Amino acid sequence: MPVPTATSDLLAAPSEAEIAQMDAWWRAANYLTIGQIYLRANPLLREPLKPEHIKPRLLGHWGTSPGLSFVYAHVSRLIRHTGQETLYLTGPGHGGPALVAAGYLEGTYSEIYPEVTQDEAGMLRLFRQFSSPGGIPSHVSVTTPGSIHEGGELGYVLVHAFGAVMDNPDLLAIAVVGDGEAETGPLEGSWKGISFLNPKHDGAVLPILHLNGAKISGPTVLARKDPAEVRELLSGHGYDVIEVEGSDLPGMHTRFASALASAYSRIGEIQQAARSSGGDGTRPRWPLIVLRTPKGWTGPSSVDGVQVSGTFRAHQVPLAGVRENPEHLALLQQWLESYRPSELFDAAGTPVPVVRDAAPSGDKRMSATPHANGGLITRDLDLPDFRDYAVKVDQPATERVESTRRLGEMMRDIYSRNPDRFRLFSPDETNSNRLGAVFEVSDRAFMEHVTPDDVAIGPDGRVMEVLSEHNCHGWLEGYNLTGRHGMFATYEAFAMVSASQTVQHSKWLEEANHLPWRAKVPSLNVLLTSTAWRNDHNGFSHQGPGLIQVVLTARGDVSRIYLPPDANCLLSVADHCFRSRNYVNLIVIDKQPQLQWLTMDEAIEHCARGAGVWDWAGTDDGNSDPDIVLACAGDVVTMETVAAAQILRDKLPGLRVRVVNVVDLMTLPRPKDHPHGMSETLFTELFTDTVDVVFAFHGYPGAIHQLVHGRPDADRFRVRGFIEQGTTTTPFDMTVRNKASRYHLVMDAINNAKRLPRGAEDLKKWCESQLARHEAYVVEHLEDMPEVRDWTLGDWATTS
Amino acid sequence: MPVPTATSDLLAAPSEAEIAQMDAWWRAANYLTIGQIYLRANPLLREPLKPEHIKPRLLGHWGTSPGLSFVYAHVSRLIRHTGQETLYLTGPGHGGPALVAAGYLEGTYSEIYPEVTQDEAGMLRLFRQFSSPGGIPSHVSVTTPGSIHEGGELGYVLVHAFGAVMDNPDLLAIAVVGDGEAETGPLEGSWKGISFLNPKHDGAVLPILHLNGAKISGPTVLARKDPAEVRELLSGHGYDVIEVEGSDLPGMHTRFASALASAYSRIGEIQQAARSSGGDGTRPRWPLIVLRTPKGWTGPSSVDGVQVSGTFRAHQVPLAGVRENPEHLALLQQWLESYRPSELFDAAGTPVPVVRDAAPSGDKRMSATPHANGGLITRDLDLPDFRDYAVKVDQPATERVESTRRLGEMMRDIYSRNPDRFRLFSPDETNSNRLGAVFEVSDRAFMEHVTPDDVAIGPDGRVMEVLSEHNCHGWLEGYNLTGRHGMFATYEAFAMVSASQTVQHSKWLEEANHLPWRAKVPSLNVLLTSTAWRNDHNGFSHQGPGLIQVVLTARGDVSRIYLPPDANCLLSVADHCFRSRNYVNLIVIDKQPQLQWLTMDEAIEHCARGAGVWDWAGTDDGNSDPDIVLACAGDVVTMETVAAAQILRDKLPGLRVRVVNVVDLMTLPRPKDHPHGMSETLFTELFTDTVDVVFAFHGYPGAIHQLVHGRPDADRFRVRGFIEQGTTTTPFDMTVRNKASRYHLVMDAINNAKRLPRGAEDLKKWCESQLARHEAYVVEHLEDMPEVRDWTLGDWATTS
C-alpha cells in the first residue's frame, strides 16, 4: 500500500504564486458563500447593489464558512502535490454555503446538478436555491457533493471520519471539528478513535479543531480556555498538537501550509513505519491541528459600531436589514468587492483558470471523491451460505439454542471471507451477546497497551468494541457510507442512547433516495439482544423496546424491523440484511437459549413472506373461519403464544385457534404505507376480516395499533406487549407483569373469541389460579425462581 | 455560607484505630457484597459452606464493588470529621451490591425496608433479594437509598453530580467515574461541568476516576493509556489531578485518606476564596482523584490457574459453578472468611459498634442524605401569576405573537423570585427560542474567560447554556432530583439526542412512584421549539417530532405531553408544569410569530379540560350531530385546521363541521390507559361515536392511532401529521408536503363526511387547483416564497 509522501514541494513554504492561487480560490469561495446568503440578482455585481438584488429574508451561516474554505483550499493544494485520496468532513454543521461553493468551484456541482451551470445564470441559481423553499439548507447535507456527513445534529464528525478510514488504508479523512460541536458529548467521546485505528490497514484521520470562538449567541468553552489547557487536553487524548493562529494574510497561508505539510508528513511516517516493518503495534501519536481564526474572518469587522467579526454576531448573517438600510447595503457591496470578484470570474461568470486550477482534478476533487458516494465503490459481501449454520429442527419447540450464537458463527466466516470490508461494532458485548465466534478469526481492535491476561484483543483486531454506543453507531455509519458492510450489536434498552443517530442516518438515506447521483450504500444493520423481556440481574432501567418505536417513524423506503422467533429465521433475516442497500435494518432477538420452531426451509419461506400461519401450533385445521387468531411477533411472546394455543388445544379443544407469527413487522401496514405491507388479500388470509386478534408483541402495544390502522376493522386487534412493567426477574414473570403471559393470552382469547365451547369459563378460572400460584411462588421463592427453561412448552404440562 | 474546613485531624494521617475502623467497615461491606451474589442461606458462615447454601444462579457484579466501598468508607470518615453534607454518586453502574451493603451497614436500609433487619434474618433477606425475581437489580437503582443515579445506562454520573450541586452551596458531590463509563460520549462531554460551576453559590463536585482496568470482557482505554497521558487529559479538562494507586494495605488507606483530605482542603480553599472576597470570577482548578485499584480487589487472585483479580474476569462473578465445584466452594469459604466476619457482626448478625460507628449519624449518612431524596427538601416555586403575561385576544386569529416570548418573561420573573431554586437549561438557544427575557435578570453561567464583546454571560449567571443536550438534560435531572425546579428548552429534532435520558428519567420516576419513602420531586420540564414544521434555513435533518413518540412510551403516571396552540395556553400549561411533581412534562410549541386563538380565561378552561370544541371555528352550531369533526393538536396544524373549517364555512356552508383542539395529548387515551384520559362521555361529546374525525397532528400520525385505540370506532380517525417529508421551506409548504394543509384537510373532510351538501366535488377540485397553484409557486419563486405570515387565516381570502 502506498503511504502518504510529503513531497519536498509540499514541505517547502508555498511559493507566492501558490499562495496567490489558494487565496484566489478562497476569495472565490467566500464570495460565493456571501452571494448565497444575500443575493437574488446581480450575482457578479455588474451594477451597484440595489435593494431588489437582496433576498427578502436573509438566512444562512457566515461565521464558520471562511475558515472551512481556507482549510479546503489548502487541502486541495496538498492533494495536487501528492495525489492523496482525501475526504473532507465538515463538523461545523452550518458551513453549508462554504462546501456548496467548493463543489461549485470544483465543477462537481454542475456535473450532478446540470442546471447549476458555471456561469452567471448558474451562479444566480446557486445563490437563489440556498436557504430557500425547495432549495438546499444552510447546513451541509445529503445534497452536498463530497459529503458523507450531515451538518444537522452535531457531534459525529470524528466518528464518521474514523469509520470512513477503517480498512481504507489509502484514505485521508480531514475532519474539521467546530468548537461548538466540540462541546457535545458524542464529539468529546470520539477523540479516542485513534485507540482503535491501526495505521497498517486503516487510513488516517487528521482532525482540525477550528476554534473560531463562538456559537450562535455566546462563546465556546474550548475557545475561552487557556490555550495551554487545550493543548494539554488534546495531547492527553493522544495527539501531537500543531497550532496555527491569526488572521494576517498571507502569513496565515504560509503558516497553515506548513502545519498541514508537517501533519501530512507525520502521517506518512506513521503509516510507513506500520506498513514496512509491521510497526510495534502501539498507538502512534497522530497529528492534530488547532486552527484559531476569527469567526466570520474577512467579513465586516464591526457594524453600527458593534464588533461583529470574531464574535457570535458573525455566526449567521452579519449584516441585517440590507434591503432597508442603505448603509448596510453599501457595506455588503464593499464586503463582496473586497474579494475582487472580477479577478475570480470571467465575463460569463465562469471561474477563471487560476481558480479552477487550484482544485485537483477528477475524482481527486474532494467534492467528487467516490469515498463520499460509497455506493459507487461498494463491493457486495462474499457471504457464506447461511443455511450452513442452521439449527436442525425435527419438531417445533423441542430444542433450545442460543440463536445469536449461530449468527456469530456466520459472522465469523463473513470476517474470514471479507477481511477488507466487514466489521462488527458493539459496546463491549460481543461475547455477552453470544457472537464470540468472531474472535476465532479476529481480535478486538485495540491500539493501547495489551497484557498477557487479555483475550482476543490487539492491534490487528477488527472487531470493534468500545463502551460507547455513539462511537459504535457512528463508526458503522462512516464505514457504510464509504461502501463497506457491518453490524452494530447492542442491548435493546441502550440502543436508545444512539437513537438520534439512527434517526439521522435514516433521514440521510431517505434523502439520498431522492438523489439519483447518490449510489446506494450497504444498509445499517442493528442487532438488539438482551431484550426487554430477559435481563437476568438487570432491572427496569435495562428494559425498554424503544428503538422499535423510533425506527417505525422513518420512511418506509428505509425502515425495516425484524423479529425472528428462532435461529433459522435469524440467519435468513441476517443474510437478507447483509445483502441489502440503503436500509436501516433493525433485528431484535434474545441471546439466551430459546426454543426453536422452524426448519431452515420453513424459516426461509416464513421470512420471505414476513408473516405466516403456524398450522402446527393452532387448532383451526386450515379452517378459514377460526374463532380467534393468536398473533405474535418477537421470541418470548411467541413462546407464550404457542403455549397459550397449546393450553387451548388441551383444555378447550372445541375452540378453533389460529396462530400467526410475524417476523417482518413491516408486513402489517397497508402496502401504501410501507413497501413490505402485505396485500389486503394476504392480510385477510392471515387475520381474517372480522375475527378478533389477540396479538402478543415484543414492543410497546401502540406500535401494533399504529401499524394495523387502516386494516379491516383494526379495532379487533387486542395487543399485549411491553407496558413498561419490569424489574429483575424471569422472562415468564415479565410476561405476567406485562399481562402477556400464556395465561393472559388464553383469557384474552376466551374473552374475544367469536364462538366459545363449553368449559371456557372454567379455563379462565384455571388461568387465574395459575397466575395466583405464580404470584405466590415469586413471593415465596425469591432467588429459587425457575428460569425460562422451566417455563417453556415442554415443561408446561408439569406445572398444570 | 459555611465552607468545607479540613480539620487538622482529617489532614493528619489517619490513626491506626481510624484505619482499623475504616477497614472493618470496608470488610463488612465486601462481605455483604459477596453474600448478595452467592448466598441463599448460612449468611454468617455459622457452619461450613455447603452447596445448598449457594444460590442456584450466580448473578451480580463483584469487580467494581470493593473500590466503591473503599471510597465510601473514606468519605464517611471525612463526614464524621467535618459534618460535610455529602452525596455519593456511583458511576460504575453495576456496583449495586456495594451501595446496598453501605446503606445496610448505615442502618438506612432497615429504616426504609423494615423487613431487612440488621440481624441474621435481615442479612439473609438482603442476600436473597439481590438479583432475584421481584428483588433488586445488580445495579444501583431507585430502590437504593442515597442514590439519585441509576446504574443502568452509563455516562451521566458527572452531569447528575453537577446538577445536584448547582445552587446547593453546602453540598459536596462525590462522583465515582468508572473507567468503562469514562469511554461513553456523555461522560467525556461532562468533565466540562466546572466551566459552569461557581464556587460562590454552587457546591462542589469531587470526581474520583476509578481505573480498575476492565469492562465486562476487556480492558478500558483510560486504564491502558500511559498514566502521564491520563493526567494530561484530566489536567486539560481543568482539574488538579491527585493520584492514588495500589492494593497494599494499610498503605492504600493512608494514601487515599491523604488524597481525600487534600482534595477536600483544596475545595475549602476554593470556596473560601470565592465566598469571602467574591473571588476573581475565573474558574478554579478543582481537585480530582484518580484511583487505580485492581478490579475485584481483595477477591480471588486466580481461579483454576487463571488470573481473575485485576482482569475483566472479576467483572461479574469471579467464582462460577460454586454449587457443583467443591474447590470453588472452598475458595468462596476462604474468600468470605478473609474478611473475618466474626469481628464484624455480633452473634445476632448485627454489625458490631466499631463498624456501625464508622458511619456518620442521621442525615449525614450518605445513604440517608435528603439530597438524595430531593422531594423531602423541595420548596415549591414562588410563581408569578401567569395571567400577567397574557396576550390580549379580542377575536381569535387576529394577532400574531411569538408565544414563547411570553413564557420567557414569565421565567424571567421566576428567576427573580427564586434565585436559589430555578434554572433554565438550553444548548445555546435561549435567545433563538425567544426566551431571552431571562437575561434581563440573569446572565448565562460561564466560568471561562469573558470579553467585553460578550453579552449576558459571566460567572454569576444562572442560565445554563452549553452545546450539549446531554449536559443540559442531565444537569436538570440532577437539579430536579435534589429538589429544585427548571426547564430544558431545545430544538424539537435534536431532543432525540437526549431521548435516552428522557426515557431513563421517566423510568426512575415510574419506579419512585412505587416507593413510598421516595418523596416526589419537581417534574422534568422539556420545552421543544423550532419544531418540525418550521425550520427556516434548516432542512430535513432538523425536522422530526420523535420525542413525542418516546414520551408516549412512558407509563401514564409519569408522562405528560402538551401542545399549546397559542401563548395563553402555553402560559397556563407552563404554570401547571412548574407546580407539578414527578412528571416528565413535554411541551411543544413553535417560537415564531403565530396566530393567537384564546383569551386567557378561555385558555385556562381549555387547558384544564385538555381538549375542547372551538365553537367559533366550526359550523355545527352546537349541534350534537356534525357531519365531520376536524380535530387538531399542535400549533401549525391547528392553523391549518381552522383555515380548513373557514374554507368549508365559506364554500360549503351546508356542511356541519365541528372543530376540536387538543392541548393535552393524554386526554385522548382511555382513562384506564392514562390518568388524563377523558371519560367515554366527554370523548363522545367531543368526537361523537360515529362521525369521522379528520385529525391534524403535530407529530407522527401513528401516535394518534395508538392513543385513540379502544375508543368507539377508532378506525374513523383519519390522521394527518408529519409523515417524514421535509426540506428547507415554509411551514405552509411543509403542511402541503405532509398532506396536512388546509386544502388536504378540506378534501379529507369531504371524503369522510357523513352527509355532503351540493358543491362538495367542486370544492375538492378547487382545493386541488390551489395545491397545484402552490406547487407552481414554489417551483417558480424560490426564495420569494411568502412566509407563514402570508399564509395565515387573515390572508387566506386573498389567495382564494
B-chain residues near A235 (CB < 8 A): 229, 232, 236
Cα pseudo-dihedral B737, B738, B743, B745, rounded to 10? 180
- Cell numbers for B714: 377508532
Work out the average pLDDT over B382-388: 98
Match 430544558 to its residue by C-alpha cell: B488
Chain-chain contact of A783 with B190 (C-beta, under 8 angstroms): no
Chain B: residue whose CA lies nearest to A214? B454
Please tell me which of the candidates A59, A153, A542 has its beta carbon nearest to residue B494.
Answer: A153
- Cell numbers for A371: 469515498
* A43/chain B closest Cα distance in angstroms: 15
Q: Is B786 within 8 Å of chain A by CB?
A: no
Q: What is the mean pLDDT of chain B?
A: 94
Match 477563471 to its residue by C-alpha cell: A352
A-chain residues near B706 (CB < 8 A): 701-703, 705-706
What is the distance, to the nearest Å, from the Cα of residue B366 to the centroid of all Cα atoms in its chain?
A: 22
**Among B residues 590-649, those touching chain A with beta carbons less than 8 Å apart:** none
Same domain, B684 and B583: no
Match 454555503 to its residue by C-alpha cell: A97
Same domain, A321 and A239: yes
Q: How far apart are CA A504 and CA A551, in angstroms?
A: 11
- Cell numbers for B557: 403516571
Work out the average pLDDT over B612-634: 91
Same domain, A355 and A410: no
Match 439449527 to its residue by C-alpha cell: A391
Alpha carbon distance, N-terminus to C-terminus of chain B: 67
What is the distance, to the nearest Å, from the Cα of residue B484 to the centroid of all Cα atoms in its chain?
A: 13
Strands (E), B596-672: 611-613, 628-633, 657-662
Work out the average pLDDT over B627-646: 96
SS3 B36: helix
Can you give the residue range of the structural domain that contains B680? 610-790
So what's the pLDDT on residue A790? 41
A-chain residues near B713 (CB < 8 A): 715
Task: Kindly list the strands in the beta sheet with B239-245, ordered across the sheet, starting from the edge strand earlier in the chain.
Answer: B85-90, B171-178, B204-211, B286-292, B239-245
Boundary (domain end) residue, out of A535, A570, A594: A594
Chain-chain contact of B546 with A503 (C-beta, under 8 angstroms): yes
Same domain, B112 and B260: yes
CATH number of domain containing A38: 3.40.50.970
Same domain, B194 and B277: yes
Asked, as a colleague might, if the bond just before B250 is cis with ω within 30 of 0, I would say yes
Boundary (domain end) residue, out of B311, B342, B372: B372
Please tell me which of the candidates B136, B188, B454 has its beta carbon nearest to residue A185.
Answer: B188
So what's the pLDDT on residue B775? 83
Question: How many domains, in total, are found in chain A?
Answer: 3
Chain-chain contact of B538 with A139 (C-beta, under 8 angstroms): yes
With residues binned 3-state (H G I as helix, E B as strand, rest as coil), the percentages for chain A, rounded to 5, are 45, 15, 40
Report the half-sphere exposure of A790 (CA within 13 A, side-chain side). 8
The answer to the question of residue B143 being in a domain is: yes
The answer to the question of residue A797 being in a domain is: no
**Among B residues 288-327, those touching chain A with beta carbons less than 8 Å apart:** 307, 310-312
**Under 8 Å between Cβ of B576 and B386:** no
**Under 8 Å between Cβ of A713 and B715:** yes
Same domain, B357 and B417: no
Under DSSP, the state recorded for B368 is: T
So what's the pLDDT on residue A2? 58
What is the distance, to the nearest Å, from the Cα of residue A772 to the centroid of all Cα atoms in its chain?
A: 46
**Among B residues 173-212, those touching chain A with beta carbons less than 8 Å apart:** 180-181, 183-192, 195
Q: Is A111 within 8 Å of chain B by CB?
A: no
Q: Is B446 within 8 Å of chain A by CB?
A: yes
Same domain, B50 and B124: yes
Q: How far apart are CA A475 and CA A161, in angstroms?
A: 8
pLDDT top residue among B286 and B216: B286
Under DSSP, the state recorded for B343 is: H
Boundary (domain end) residue, out of B322, B342, B372: B372
A195 φ/ψ angles, rounded to the nearest 5 degrees: -70, -5
- Cell numbers for B578: 412548574
A-chain residues near B778 (CB < 8 A): 133-134
* A690/chain B closest Cα distance in angstroms: 14
The answer to the question of residue A379 being in a domain is: no
pLDDT more than 70, % of chain B: 96
Which distant-in-sequence residues (6+ apart) come within 8 Å of A688 by Cβ?
Answer: A624, A625, A626, A629
Same domain, A49 and A162: yes
The answer to the question of residue A730 being in a domain is: yes
The answer to the question of residue B568 being in a domain is: yes
The answer to the question of residue A378 being in a domain is: no
pLDDT confidence tier of residue B360, bands split at 50, 70 and 90:
very high
ipTM of the complex: 0.96
pLDDT confidence tier of residue B4, bands split at 50, 70 and 90:
low
B393 φ/ψ angles, rounded to the nearest 5 degrees: -120, 105
pLDDT value at B800 more than 90: no
Among A757, A770, A762, which Cα is nearest to A796's? A770
* B426/chain A closest Cα distance in angstroms: 12
**Bridge partners for A611 per DSSP:** A662
Same domain, B633 and B564: no
The answer to the question of residue B436 being in a domain is: yes
Query: Using one digit for the tens of pLDDT, what is the confidence trace for B515-562?
Result: 999 999 999 999 999 899 988 778 999 999 999 999 999 999 999 999
Query: Using one digit for the tens of pLDDT, what is the confidence trace for B251-284?
Result: 999 999 999 999 999 999 999 999 998 777 789 9
pLDDT confidence tier of residue B1, bands split at 50, 70 and 90:
low
Asked, as a colleague might, if the bond just before A669 is cis with ω within 30 of 0, I would say no
Alpha carbon distance, N-terminus to C-terminus of chain A: 68
So what's the pLDDT on residue A229? 97
The answer to the question of residue B381 being in a domain is: no
Please tell me which of the candidates A236, A446, A730 has its beta carbon nearest to residue B232.
Answer: A236
Q: How far apart are CA A567 and CA B786, in angstroms?
A: 56
Same domain, A590 and A446: yes
Q: How far apart are CA B119 and CA B523, in angstroms?
A: 38
Amino acid in position B269: E
Indicate the burial class of B765 (C-beta count within 10 angstroms; 0-12, 13-18, 19 or more).
exposed
**Bridge partners for A584 per DSSP:** A524, A559
pLDDT value at B718 more than 90: yes
So what's the pLDDT on residue A643? 93
- Cell numbers for B186: 456523555
Same domain, A492 and A627: no
Same domain, B367 and B390: no
**Under 8 Å between Cβ of A110 and A116:** yes
CATH number of domain containing B704: 3.40.50.920
Work out the average pLDDT over B436-459: 96
Helix axes B469-481, B499-512, angle to 10 degrees: 20
B758 φ/ψ angles, rounded to the nearest 5 degrees: -60, 150
* pLDDT beneath 50, residues of chain A: 783, 785-800
